[in-house]
Amino acid sequence: MTLKCDFHIHTVFSDGSVWPNIRVDEALKDGLDAISLTEHLEYQPHGEDIPHPDRNRSFEIAKEQAKAHDLLVIHGVEITRKLPPGHANAIFITDANALN
């Protein structure tokens, strides 16, 4: 069995330009089987316009949008920190707030 997945997706809750429900629609259009919205945990460039204290919110919106479709939405986050080597995606998490 082969699954088509994208486990590194951002929305307006991070540094993306669209809402989580749009990312679900894009995934369905692209024929994906699973996605993970991995918003930057510490980095929110749209924070003045879209402030939300719950770092799980984008996952909740996407999960609700995907309910009526055959798309698996996996809870994830991108841990940015301030270390130079880069970023790390954490998927299959239960609470992004606990990692902040």
DSSP letters of 49-86? TS--S-TTHHHHHHHHHHTTTT-EEEEEEEE-TT-TT-
- Hey, what amino acid is at 55? R
Strand order in the sheet with 34-37: 5-9, 34-37, 72-79, 88-91
What pLDDT digit, counting tens, does each position of 2-14 carry? 999 999 999 999 9
**Global confidence as pTM:** 0.90
Give the angle subtended at the CA of 65 by the CAs of 64 and 68, to the nearest 5°. 95
What pLDDT digit, counting tens, does each position of 47-78 carry? 788 878 899 999 999 999 999 999 999 999 99
Phi then psi for residue 99, to 5 deg, are -90, -10
